[in-house]
Chain A
């Protein structure tokens, strides 16, 4: 798969050892009518640029909450998240949004395409939000590479789950992120469909040096990451490195 073979990459492999993500003593508590519910408790981890990390664990262990906090999608109750050297808690919502637009890509379990936009329009949104124009050719190329060259003007409802996820991947790559967060990227897909998606994700990591954070239940997918952290009850209970990687 030479998914990104023709793109010019901004990040060089020499960046590899610098931490792109640093999480320190992160805590998240939800206030309920009855009591306070702590879903994440003093979690710390670090990820170097170009590295890959899989977060695994049972449902309700805090994986998705951790991913959301790392990407600045939510506010932590305590602790700190540094993304590309910037402490997210010191940034306002709009500054975090700008940072995401500059550095972060997303792939969600439920695809999260904008239903009123066509496939190519969905892919172009990150560029348009940067104020960049003229990205149509690039978007078309990306969609062609994911096998949707003939579905450019289709709306999400007119695409299957696998096709929607491929559009989401093209959208995640179009602005060349430094880090990509993927929440159960194959959770809604069968094994036949999920294989190419996983391949594309790791191609990006290898070829563009994009760090990859994966939340998954799938041991096979987790095994592809260099590091695997296992969560349970809101804390990290183990961390392993896959020597093969």
Chain B
């Protein structure tokens, strides 16, 4: 014999995967199915495209947000001091940075000339190119540049309204007269939210030094703004400054510090991106599992023949694993490519909408990572149906009608592998183990619930079926439990797909809703400070007369920390030095406000023991700084009187919402007699209304100071609106990723029902009868998939809302109804489409074994 050139056959799956025959057979086997396999690979393509696009966008958005955070600070490092920063120190600081700018700010009276009123202003004298990031928006647009030449001031629009002044008018500041050069629509970043108790006015620092104002002012604050050259980390600069100026009491702030202050909006955004990336990948993976299942089912006879001819199980398995790997790799590469195109396209198309200030460019590293991740997840999910190949007996060649068998227990290691893989992906998306485990746990629970529903449906359909039912209904219902039924696969793919999609859309909706709240009327934009207790009613009456809401009216008492657990605060281990210096403004009340969440203990609604220790509620971050928890004692120095307190509750505060919040909250019945002031907040619709209110208050309550936060709120609102847009777009991606699941499920159903329906046609069934049978089956499957998926999504939405996004757990009924209607309708239409295919197919073609 000439054909005896032996090559050692592989002895394991691993070696089989490197054997040319396995790959040759995989290629040959795909011959009649290439188009179908390409359609199936779409499941992978869209899933990975969504994953790549989301991760790339996430990276770009994060970079953009980092830039925005820089814009919120205006520099890479802000050095603030109560004492003047000396020329030598500034020179040394300048040596560490590429650019340096100085600022001095202080409160001072400003008089509008020739005979206008005067009011206390927060003067900001700036020298140099500050802000280095972001832009000060003025009217006229070149007013900021003119300010740098000196001889003028820039004021907030409401002030101009309040004093009926105009651009070009003169004001007197200290000993000098300056001209109003323009209005500030978007201010330079402030030191902090309450850096001034008065409206801001911008002046050239040289003019301030000329005015002589500073020599008389002890309230001045001095800042040096530093800009780094590209690639240097501001965190490193911060540490270097701390090391080189150990004896100073400077406050150092970086963009990262400022970014944290954006509150939970960004945190929620991160969580949502993590959720959406995991979901789109899971959707793609379900699509892959369904597609491979359908493919292997069609190949049962071929596998049986191969086994009959002596093909070991691992080699038969290797052939289809090789196909799945090739498809997975192709799909992953195509998906990553498409993802890059989508990311770039979105960045270009939504240039003005996204918070991106970098040029759109591909995130190659992320594309590579997501390709590898997607490939691994695809292969992992393909293993579920592939494992059943080993269960295909060669005896299927003797009888027709073999089906894929395989118990859950045998597949348990694969499920464990997949759970592990998904947890890793979830952690990669959102680096928080608890959340990663919770997300994958949720998916697992949904999976098991759907398996239970499918098994229940099969059992119920078997039991309820009665011989007196009309034939068509009996046939349709019987299809739900007969051998070769598609109940489990349909429920798992369409049910899980519905669950994931509705969860994402609901989460997107509740997150957007939350962002809207943050941008909405709930946030005050005008703070009225220093309202004496006997003036509160009068101030509120003024607001009422002007039809402005009293959003909050709270008492405020200043105090210092004297000791912690009996140790003087200056000597307490691990407690920062600034705690001893800080004057805390605290309040008293008996309940939480809208922006607070209790995370430990209970808020005292009253003082339990009038002569005993006082219950104290701390904000979580200050509790960390003070190194205290529930039960620890803190002695407060309330303007000379020592009050012993015990921490009885810890609150989380959403600082992004600009409501009045406090580090320390006392119960009623402790601070009422302490000298204090009230703060009243309201919301004015226009700068003119704000100016008018301030003018009237100045007339009636001269001591009351108004802080207008409109401009700062606009900046934050702008960012939140951009995040909201991105969320809506990304939720749309997931819908795209879900489509192939639908196609895969319907195609699989076609395989299952085509031959049977053609046989019915051959035996004389009318097209209408075939259609009714299929529609009954598909309607039952669609209804139950939609219902199960939606119910699971409602539960998931509740959990996400309560534990992740801190929002209302009630889902949008409109969305649920729309999802229910759409999924059911698509399933019924799928059944109809199949019946159409049957009625237009020559029966002989099917009966001879073609398809």
Contacts and interface: CB of A to CB of B under 8 A. Distances in A.
A126 B310 contact: yes
Interface stretch (A92-100, A218-226, A235-243): A92-100
A127 interface: yes
B314 A94 contact: yes
Contacts of A130: 6, 9, 310
B21, B304, B395 interface centre (most CB from chain A within 10 Å) = B395
A117 B307 contact: no
B32 A116 contact: yes
Contact of A132 (B5, B30, B314, B849): B5
Interface string A74-111: 10000000000000000001100111111010101010
A108 B397 contact: yes
A115 B849 contact: yes
Interface in A143-190: 157, 171, 183
Contacts of B848: 157
Given A112-B397, A132-B3, A134-B3, A106 B314 contact: no
Interface in B297-315: 301-302, 304-315
A125 interface: yes
B5 A134 contact: yes
A98 B301 CA distance: 19
Nearest to B305: A112
Contacts of B310: 97-102, 104, 126, 129-130
B58 to A, nearest CB: 43
A116 B29 contact: yes
B308 A138 contact: no
A126 B390 CA distance: 19
Given A73-B397, A94-B314, A157-B849, A100 B6 contact: no
A8, A106, A115, A171 interface centre (most CB from chain B within 10 Å) = A115
Contacts of A127: 3
A131 interface: yes
B313 A108 contact: no
Interface in B376-400: 390, 393-395, 397-400
A53 B399 CA distance: 22
A94 B1 CA distance: 27
Nearest to B10: A131
A103 to B, nearest CB: 9
Contacts of A157: 848-850
B2 interface: yes
A129 B6 contact: no
A233 interface: no
A194 interface: no
Given A97-B311, A157-B849, A138 B3 contact: yes
A138 B393 contact: no
Nearest to A117: B28
A198 interface: no
B398 A138 contact: no
Contact of A114 (B6, B21, B33, B302): B302
A128 B5 CA distance: 11
Contact of A100 (B2, B5, B308): B308
A106 B309 contact: yes
B310, B394, B849 interface centre (most CB from chain A within 10 Å) = B310
Which range holds the interface residue count of chain B? 35 or more
Contacts of A116: 28-33, 302
Contacts of B394: 71-74, 97, 100
Interface residues of A, number: 45
Interface string B456-485: 000000000000000000000000000000
B35 interface: no
A19 interface: no
Given A116-B32, A135-B3, A97 B313 contact: yes
A98 B32 CA distance: 28
B21 A138 contact: no
Contacts of A51: none
Nearest to A184: B398
A157 B5 CA distance: 31
A108 B1 CA distance: 27
A37 interface: no
Contacts of B349: none
Contacts of A71: 308, 394
B395 A73 contact: yes
A17 to B, nearest CB: 26
Contacts of B6: 130-132
B3 A133 contact: yes
Contacts of A115: 32, 302, 849
A40 B558 CA distance: 95
Nearest to A126: B309
A64 interface: yes
B1, B304, B309, B848 interface centre (most CB from chain A within 10 Å) = B309
B7 interface: yes
B4 interface: yes
A137 interface: yes
Nearest to A183: B398
Contacts of B32: 115-116
Interface in B833-851: 848-850
Interface in A1-55: 7-8
A215 B315 CA distance: 30
A234 B483 CA distance: 26
Interface in B349-396: 390, 393-395
Interface in B312-368: 312-315
B20 to A, nearest CB: 10
A41 B543 CA distance: 99
Contacts of A101: 309-311
Interface string B20-47: 0100000011111100000000000000
A112 B400 contact: no
A135 B6 CA distance: 11
B594 interface: no
B461 to A, nearest CB: 16
Contacts of A64: 398-399
A138 to B, nearest CB: 5
A97 B307 contact: yes
B8 interface: yes
B307 A138 contact: no
A106, A129, A136 interface centre (most CB from chain B within 10 Å) = A129
B398 A94 contact: no
B9, B29, B311, B398 interface centre (most CB from chain A within 10 Å) = B398
A94 B312 contact: yes
Given A68-B395, A115-B302, A157-B850, A97 B312 contact: yes
A214 B308 CA distance: 17
Interface in B389-418: 390, 393-395, 397-400
B1 A8 contact: yes
Interface string B215-257: 0000000000000000000000000000000000000000000
B7 A131 contact: yes
A81 to B, nearest CB: 13
B349 to A, nearest CB: 44
A133 B307 contact: no
A128 B398 CA distance: 23
Contact of B5 (A68, A113, A114, A133): A133
Contacts of B309: 100-101, 106, 125-126, 129, 171
Contacts of B397: 73, 106, 108, 112
B1, B5, B9, B30 interface centre (most CB from chain A within 10 Å) = B1
9 contacts: A8-B1, A73-B308, A97-B307, A126-B310, A129-B310, A130-B310, A131-B6, A132-B4, A133-B5
Interface of A: 7-8, 64, 67-68, 71-74, 93-94, 97-102, 104, 106, 108, 110, 112-117, 121, 125-138, 157, 171, 183
Given A104-B310, A116-B302, A130-B310, 7 more contacts: A71-B394, A106-B308, A129-B306, A130-B6, A134-B4, A137-B2, A171-B309
Closest 6 CB pairs of A and B: A101-B310, A135-B3, A94-B312, A74-B395, A131-B7, A73-B395
